[in-house]
Each structure stands twice: as structure tokens, then as C-alpha cells.
A and B are shown apart, each in its own frame.
Chain A
């Protein structure tokens, strides 16, 4: 029964190949609002289920989750379509939640971590929509040179990608740091694997930045995003920074 329940939860806190369900649903849904809802609610549902059922997480689940996180981290390196990239990095990041959840008495921390991973992804989906509106597709390497033609959009895009790939000052970094610390006494291999996942995210993030914003200016008919939109994005990013301070202040 417990195993079956864990498999069910593995749909929401990704375990490959169950993770493919989320990626398929996310690819099918085109509405931005529903995508945002999926990104925010999917992992929280998994944690809530686990919390409700009160099942102990066996070691093999942690190994499986690490495999899932590594698999998606490697696979996202060659993904060019931004929404697919978003769903892959979400699968990779959420899979790491299993490590923090193992042996945890209080799940509130896990909810925070899930939000830390999901909020920047939600911003990325909004930006992906902006790109689609302008160029017909949010696709790395298709147009490039955005820094020249759309400096505001580029600036926000860079900051959001930094938040997604768990750069310090953003809460995903502290969530990742805690995951590593939680893994250290039991298994150095797990801690190093989490670190490698993080390394691969950075690589993937840099490939997206290079493919979108770098390059000579090309003719673009559409205007840049407005100053108000910029401030909205910055507002959320500052909120994420505040969440980081809260994390650290609450001793993680």
C-alpha cells in the first residue's frame, strides 16, 4: 500500500518515468494561467499528499529521485524550447525535494523549498509568453541578440534564469544548500550528486542566456516590455530575495 502511495506521489514529486506525466501535461497545456497554476500547485500537491499519508520515505526512493534529478539536468542541456526547458528543470528540482522530505518531522520547510523552486519557473513561463508574442516562439538560438533589441526584456530574463538555476541571494540556492547539508551525514555521494545537478543547471542556464541575448542586433518590429512590467518582475524578484533572508533568518 505504502509503495503504491509513493508511486502516486511520485507523479507530483517527480520520479522518472512518472515525471513524464507532468511534462506531457505541461506540453499539452498552452494557457499561461493554467501553466502557472501547474508549476505552483504540482509539487505542493505531492508534499500535501505525503504529509497527509505520513509515509516514511525509504532510501531507494532517494536514490531514484537523485537519478531523476540528474537525468533531467543532463537532458535540459540541449533543450531549446523555453517551456519544455522549464518543465525539465522543474522535474529536476522537484525531484530533489525527496531528500529534504526523508526523515523530516515538519513539512513546512519542504513547502518553502517547493515554492522557492517554482516561483522563478513561473516567472520564466511569463517571459516565455512575452517571447512567443514577439517572435512566434520562445526558442533558444532562433533569433538571439535580444540584449541589443530588447534590453529590458533581456535584463529581466537574465535575472529570472539566475533565480531558476539557484544562484545565491535567490531562495532556490538556500533550498539546495539545505538539501546538501541534510545529505552530508548519511551519504557524501548524495551531497555530491545534488551538487552536480546544480552544476548542470548552471550550464543549462548559461546556454539559454547565450542563445537568447547574445549576438548582433536583428530587426524587430515589436517594442520592448514596458517599464511597469519591468518593475512588476523586479517586485517578484525582490520578494524572492526577501524569502531568502527569511530562510536564512529562520536558520533554514
Chain B
């Protein structure tokens, strides 16, 4: 049965070749090969998932003794289904969307090659296949983003993407080199078996192998998932066609989360790598969200929104919630893909009709009529802080009683609590005529989301990591000293509450606040609007290198 997994990359590969060769004879009709291939891929991925769930699929297929391996494991099959689904939709969408563009068939050839590379990446059971697929995705994305060969700017930003990806590729190449050197094989299952037997067996330059490899893989994941300092390409890569943006934001940038999950046996043996991942993810989530809120270009705002989401996904890995990161990347892929693919038609429809539903609920929420009598603030504060906490605790307790023993889980609960409290806090400021109706609606929605999220993520945990011992190991690898953990949680809670109070105070005393922090705020805003001057810094670095190269060539007389 596992041999069917070969079909996943093979179908788009054959479709790409046939589309390329047949484009001169069949004209624009040729793309139907690609579309049908996409649908067939999706059906095969569904069948493989069903077989996996029923326990009838496991093992691997390989070309050589320890290379060219495709794995049939829960992670590869789940990711293959996601890729098959998104790429099939993108191809279907592109049939009409791209029809007026020159190089119509070339676009589908590139899409097919990208899909094949993505399948190989998620199913790779050896370092060579993984490296090749990982690198090819960067190269193919470069050509997809620069699809319009007339546009210099599209290629310039495509190059930014390629170069950032190359930095991650380099880290991954080094990681593969260390693993091969230590275990003398390319096969991932063999390497992981070696790691589980004795992880501290190999030491390089005074560091244990898992720490070195984990750090390098983390860099690869950070570059691919647009984490802070390696993120500048993401918001500028919107010059490519909309289906490419959808594919990129729904699938390709999520690869960082996949990589961390694939190398979970390495990360469970690291000492501090997951903590660093958490910190970088947190910074990225905050910076991405701040930059998103300050953009006046909707596409750049969407780009920074993805950056924030990716930060959160990496954060989840950093607290040991690996399977939750997979669930997050799938959920994010779905909604971001929908946003991109629907954007054009929504703008088009909005030009004809505003599309505002004339329903009771909508008018109740949007057409605000403030309540005459204000509720006691103590009651409202209690509702704000206690209700989300109760919902979160009950939902998580329902799926797993030992959940609260894990630090990572508590961190996520804490974030969930802050988000819920923030949501209810924002609700009060909406000033509805019937505040209790609004709160009950919000609380009900929150409860549904939290319960659904908890149950699905728990199911993912059981599916991806069926061994309870290994699940505990992942969370344990992310743990820190209990004292420092309590201090950090307390500190973040205090900062959050101070933030809320400051916000409340600034709204109440706007004129005083404007005088006090006006100038400072303008400076901060200027820095944010210039995206922390990172692009300028990188551009200056690039110019310096090019000027140096020029000078060297002149001094050495071009020889």
C-alpha cells in the first residue's frame, strides 16, 4: 500500500512535463492536464489518510539503500493532504484567473513542479531528498514570484525571497552534514533511532550533536517561516500573481513548523534551542502584528499578518506544542488562502454592492447604540478576567486531565486567557445598547472556538505522536526552571494588566496623554512605519558588498 505514496510527487511531475510538451499543440486547453492531476492527487491523498487512520498504511518506499526514501507516516500523509487540497484549489482558481496572462502554460508547469517538490519535502525519509526538495521550493518560488518577466520589481523581490531562503538552506545543508557525519547514513528513521538510543554520543566543537543540529534546523525553519530579522521578503513578495500569494501564504511559509515536527527526535534532545525558538516566535508575533496594524497597503498588511501567525506557530513549537503548530499551520493556510483567493472577487463585488447583510445580528453589532446605564466596573472586570479562564481550563480539562502539568500548555493557556480577556474588554468599548446580549454572544463564540480548538489539537497530538512517552518528552524539552517560569508568567501578567490600564487611562485623558507622549509616539510610529529600518539596513549592506566587489575588480584589473 505504501507504494501509492510515490504517486503523490509523480503525478504533478508528469503533468508538468506533459503540459510543457503539449502546450504548443493543445494551446490553453493543456492546463486541464494539470488541473486533473491536482484533483487526482487530492483523491489519492484522501485515500492515503483513510488508510493511515485505519492502520493499513505504514512503512517507506526507497530508490537507494539510504536515499530517495518516501515515508508513509502520519506527519507526511497529513501534510500531503493539505498540500494536495490547497494546490488543487489554486490550480482550479488559476484556470480563469491567469488566462489572459502571457506564459499561461508555463505558470501551470511551475505550479506542478512546486507541488511535486512540496510532496517530496513532506514525505522525504532521507536527508538528500529533503535537502533537494527544500532547495527546489526556494528556486521555484523565485520563478513563480517573478512570473511576470517584464517586471523588474517582481524579480527584485523574488530575489530577496530566494536569498533569505538560501540562508536557511545553508543552515540545513550544514545540519545534514553533521547528521551524516555522525551516523554515516542519510536515512532519517535510522538517524532518529540512533538519537533515541544515545543522543549525547556525538560531540562537535564542545556541543552535543542535537544542540548543533537543532540550532541549524531552527535557522532553516526561521528563514522559511519569515521570522524576525529574516522576514523582510514576505510583505514585499506580493508582486507575484494572486494564486502564488495564496500558495505561498497558505503552504510554503508554513514549512518551518513542518521541519521542526519532522525533526522532533532531534529537538527533544536539545537543551535551549526550543527556548530560543519561543523567544524569536514571540518577538515575530508581536512585531508582525504591530507592523500589520500600521500598514495602509492591504497586501502588505496581509503579509505582516502572516508573519505574526508564523511567529505564533514557532512559539507553539517553542513551548513543546509541536502538533498544535501543525494544526495552526493548516488552519492558517485555510483562512489565508481563502483571503487571498477571495480578495479579488470581493473587491469586484463591493464595487457593485456593499454586501452588508441587513440582519438583526449585524445591525445589533455594527450600528452601535450605547446603553444608557453603565454596569459596575468591578463586575465587568471580573467577567473579563474570569470567564475566559474558566472556559479555557474546562475545555482543556475535558480533553486531557494531565494537561496542566506541562509548562508549555500553561503558556498557551495564558495566551488564550489574555486573548479572551482582550476580546471581552474590547466588547465593552463597542457600546452596544444591550450589553448582556453582546457579551453572551461573544462568550458563546469564544467557548465554541476554544472547545473546538482544544479537541482538534488533542486529536492531532494523538495522531502525530501516538507514543505518550514521546509526547511528554517534547513538552519536557521545552520546560524551564519552575522558579523562572513563575517569575516570567507573573511578569507578563503584570505587563499585560499595565498595558490595559494604560490604554484605559489614555482613552479617558486623551489631551493629557497627547502632551506627555506625543513626540515619543511620533518617533516610535516613524520607526514602525519604516519597518524598523531593517530593509534600509539590508539594502545598505548589499550596496556595501557590491561596491567592495567593484573596487576589488578595479584594483585587480578584472583578472
Which residues on A are within 8 Å of B, measured CB to CB? Answer: 20, 23-24, 27, 71, 74-79, 84, 145, 147-148, 154, 158, 162, 167-169, 173, 177, 180-181, 184-185, 188, 191-192, 195-196, 198-199, 202-203, 206, 209-210, 213-217, 248-249
Contacts and interface: CB of A to CB of B under 8 A. Distances in A.
Nearest to B149: A147
A148 B149 contact: yes
A177 B150 CA distance: 35
A181 B139 contact: no
Interface in B116-166: 128, 131-132, 135-136, 139, 142-143, 146, 149-152, 155-156, 159, 162-163, 166
Nearest to A151: B103
A206 B556 contact: no
Given A78-B550, A188-B205, A215-B152, 20 more contacts: A23-B559, A24-B559, A74-B548, A75-B549, A76-B549, A78-B546, A154-B149, A167-B139, A168-B136, A177-B173, A184-B174, A188-B174, A191-B174, A192-B174, A196-B170, A198-B166, A198-B170, A206-B142, A214-B150, A216-B150
Interface in B8-51: none
Interface in B465-515: none
22 contacts: A23-B559, A24-B559, A74-B549, A75-B552, A77-B545, A78-B546, A79-B558, A168-B131, A168-B135, A180-B174, A184-B178, A184-B204, A185-B181, A188-B204, A195-B170, A199-B167, A202-B166, A206-B159, A206-B162, A206-B163, A210-B156, A217-B150
Contacts, number: 110
Contacts of A148: 149-150
A162 B151 contact: no
Interface residues of B, number: 43
A210 B149 CA distance: 9
Interface in B190-231: 204-205
Contacts of B548: 74
B162 A27 contact: no
Contact of A79 (B150, B162, B545, B553): B553
Nearest to B132: A168
B333 to A, nearest CB: 25
A168 to B, nearest CB: 4
Interface of B: 64, 67-68, 128, 131-132, 135-136, 139, 142-143, 146, 149-152, 155-156, 159, 162-163, 166-167, 170, 173-174, 176-178, 180-181, 204-205, 545-546, 548-550, 552-553, 556, 558-559
B135 A167 contact: yes
A20 B559 contact: yes
B515 to A, nearest CB: 49
Given A184-B174, A202-B162, A214-B152, A74 B552 contact: yes
A70 to B, nearest CB: 11
Nearest to B65: A251
A203 B204 CA distance: 30
Contacts of B136: 167-169
Given A167-B139, A177-B173, A188-B205, A215 B150 contact: yes
B180 A181 contact: yes
A195 B135 contact: no
